[in-house]
Amino acid sequence: MKTLRQLHLYLGCFFAPLVLVFAFTGVIQTFELHEAKKDGSYVPPHWVDTLATLHKHDVLIKGDSPTAMRVLVTCMSLALVLTMVLGVVLAFKFGRSAILVLGALALGVLVPFAVLVLR
């Protein structure tokens, strides 16, 4: 179990900065801050456009090769899934209540579903 905790810790620490970048750029795209308005009332700042390019095309400069970044993002995605699974395993192992862990997992499924369906 100690090895799993260390794996969870180090994978999480290594990929946390990249996950934060993609979470931030995802919010930019969710609110469409990377797109200029057709009437010209809004033009995104250069840094927003640059980050959107990173999020959408895995490059900072349009036209560059995205291969290395795609490999890194794929590794990040796999590590994120693994650390989440390890986190749930650790929650069951070291949490005070399996019922609370199951409840949190259930809410993690139900709340996003409800938000999507009931809007």
**Is the pLDDT reported for residue 87 higher than 90?**
yes
How many residues does the structure list for the chain?
119
The answer to whether residue 99 scores a pLDDT higher than 90 is yes
Q: Do 58 and 70 meet the contact criterion of CB atoms below 8 Å apart?
A: yes
Give the integer Cα–Cα distance in Å for 81 and 12: 10
- Report the pLDDT value the prediction gives residue 59, as an integer from 0 to 100: 85
- Report, as an integer, the average pLDDT of 36-64: 85
- CA dist., res. 61 & res. 63, Å (int): 6
Q: Give the model's confidence band at 64: pLDDT under 50 very low, under 70 low, under 90 confident, else very high.
A: confident
Confidence (pLDDT) at 78? 95
What's the mean per-residue pLDDT of the chain? 90
Q: What percent of the chain has pLDDT over 90?
A: 53
